[in-house]
Amino acid sequence: MEGFDILNLFIVLISAWGAGALIKRIGYPSILGELLIGIIIGPPLLGLVNISSTLTILSETGVILLMAYIGMEINFKDLGKASWAGLLAAVGGFIVPFILGYYVVTLSGGTSIAGLFVGIAVGVTSLATKSRILVDLNLLDTRIAYVLMAGALFSDTLALIIFAGLSSFIDAGSVNMSEILFISGKIILFFLFSTLLGLYLFPKLLKWFESKKIDNRTFYFTLLLLIVFGLSELAELVGLHGILGAFMAGLFIKDDLFNKKISKDISNVFHDISVGFMAPIFFVTAGFYVSLDVFQTNLNLLLLILGAAFIGKILGTIIFYLPSGNGWREGLAVGTGMNGRGAVEIVIAGIGLQKGVISQEIFSILVFMAILTTLSVPLLLTWSTNWLKKRGQLVKQYSKNGYLILGANPIGLLLGKHLKASDKIVFIDANKVMAEQAERKGFESIHGNALDEPTLSKASAKDFQTFIALTENTEINLLASQLANDSFYIPEKFVVICPNENNEGAGINLIGSASTLFASRTDIKPWIKLVQSSNFREIEMKITEETTTRAWVKYQLKQNKNILPLVIIDINGNKRPFGYNDTLIVNESVIYIE
């Protein structure tokens, strides 16, 4: 039996890896491939693998670790900023599909209790699936991500409170308000306790360990696992799903709790174990629960419940989201993200089946609805967020901001002049004369070696969103960017890469979220001399057709233009550096010199 489970695990993992890689090649998150391959290799089609206790335990563990990792990537203060919008999205995204689901069942001949169960199942959302999608689509730094996280917390809590009341009615034969109040009180106490633990007890405990000179990564990783699984179990005990406890634990595991190296190592370990290994098991095995028989038994009811799920969730979110002031288009994107169901919905449906409230047929429909709505999320969320991006309405919600620029040469100062209009700028330069020149131009400047960690600390590097390295030395640019990434976790890096240099050791592929500045290898020495002599023209060109920055540069070269693109101006007038991994959309502009 153990060997059989190991073989199942091997098939699931290699299938998840292959399908995820394939689906990402065509531009969609790997979760979509994992769910589809689960349907193919599982009981619905080929039946190569069946659910087992081993896969169940690993998948549940994977979701808990995934939620802890997502919590680590979310800034708690920014989540609080999105709480009002998240509450609106949660209420609208729950109430409207709840009502539609109830009436679909009752008007189709089902009982009122069955209608209420289906309404709850249709109204909930999946925090786990949406979290993975946000990772895959690189949306964790947007306001939508924080609204979705806050909305999922509110939505699942609301659903479980109503579910608790409905369960007490079924068990007791009447609505027991005291039981509802008791469960609600336990949930409130859970969040209060989690907050107290995260903000006060946990930091003091870590400081005590630090005072004992404990700096072992394995020790702290084990401690974090105990906290994650402890809060997950506590969430289960008060009637919430364990993933909410894991998410709450992750929210308080922040960079400043440990030294920089341990914090970075722990974050990488959580990512590799959850996103890379265990969470795919959950998403593949989720496909095992799809029952294709529902297409033959009651196709009409299936379509009606799917309609209630899709229309109710998205339309309800849009309508209730309007008072947030963020616009109906963002409400549409949030609604598409809230549309995925998963673990909580299946748990509720399973309990309904166990209590005899819903039939096996309705249970199968609800499972299929959970899978299909989840499959739709990466497609619809990709479309809706790309639409917002093209309109310049995809709002970033950074906990960091500003540009830290290495190299106070004339090109750096010219670039800084443009970026200063919308954000703070700090220069670093080892040449004291150039550092002083930056100060005379009105910039804050640090004189020092950017390859020394104390210099970046003096510049408060940990508070910056973007690091730009544009010295004449490619190796220094790469090494400094790597230090900014590894020790100070600066999310975005732009690096000048000179042509015809063989850079052994550090490389741009080794630096997280790094982009080649100017979207091509560039020798900036002649450009520095050109700007220094003021013998150049600065031109702004409007974009009339969507293209990539690299394709734009290649087109200009074909026109025999000798240019250096500096910044992109979006349709709202905000400027960003011209880098390799970017898309130019219609009505944006590029400022370049020639």
115 backbone dihedrals φ, ψ, rounded to 5°: -60, -40
Provide the whole-model pTM: 0.61
Domain with CATH 1.20.1530.20 in the chain: 2-390
Coil, helix or strand at residue 587: coil
Closest to 407 measured CA to CA, from 457, 445, 442? 445
pLDDT of 337: 85
| Structure tokens that stand for 267 in this block | 């974050």
Evaluate whether the domain defined by 2-390 bears CATH number 1.20.1530.20. Answer: yes
Residue-wise pLDDT for 10-58, tens only, equals: 999 999 889 888 877 765 667 778 878 988 998 888 989 888 888 888 8
- Strand spans (E) along 329-397: none
Residue with tokens 């806050």: 150
pLDDT digits (tens, 9 = 90+) for 202-238: 888 877 887 777 777 788 888 888 988 998 888 878 7
Domain with CATH 3.40.50.720 in the chain: 403-593
For residues 125 and 338, is the Cβ–Cβ distance under 8 A? Answer: yes
Burial status of residue 266 (CB atoms within 10 A of its CB: 0-12, 13-18, 19 or more)? buried
Q: Are 428 and 404 in contact (CB under 8 A)?
A: yes
Burial class (CB in 10 A: 0-12, 13-18, 19+), 296: exposed
State which fold the 403-593 domain adopts. Rossmann fold (3.40.50)
DSSP 97-115: HHHHHHHHHHHTT--HHHH
Q: pLDDT tens digits for 383-408?
A: 888 888 777 777 776 557 789 999 99
pLDDT for 504 equals 40
Structure tokens at 16: 């998840």
Count other Cβ atoms within 10 Å, centred on residue 235.
24
287: Cβ–Cβ under 8 A, 6 or more apart, which residues? 34, 35, 36, 37, 38, 39, 40, 42, 44, 371
Burial class (CB in 10 A: 0-12, 13-18, 19+), 541: middle
Task: Give me the residues of the chain with pLDDT under 70, please.
Answer: 1-4, 26-29, 73-82, 126-132, 135-136, 138, 140, 153, 156-157, 160-161, 163-177, 179-180, 183, 239-241, 254-261, 342-344, 346-347, 350, 354, 397-399, 422, 500-513
pLDDT for the residue numbered 132 = 62
Q: How far apart are CA 130 and CA 378, in angstroms?
A: 8
Buried b (16+ CB within 10 A) or exposed e, 392-407: ebbeebeebebbbbbb
Whole-number pLDDT of residue 165:
60
Spatial contact of 331 and 317, defined as CB atoms under 8 Å apart: yes
d(CA 85, CA 87): 5
* Closest CA relative to residue 14, chosen from 41, 32, 39: 41
Tell me what pLDDT residue 364 has. Answer: 80
Percent of the chain past pLDDT 90, that is, above it, reads 17
User: In this structure, are residues 331 and 151 in contact, taking their beta carbons and an 8 Å threshold?
Assistant: no
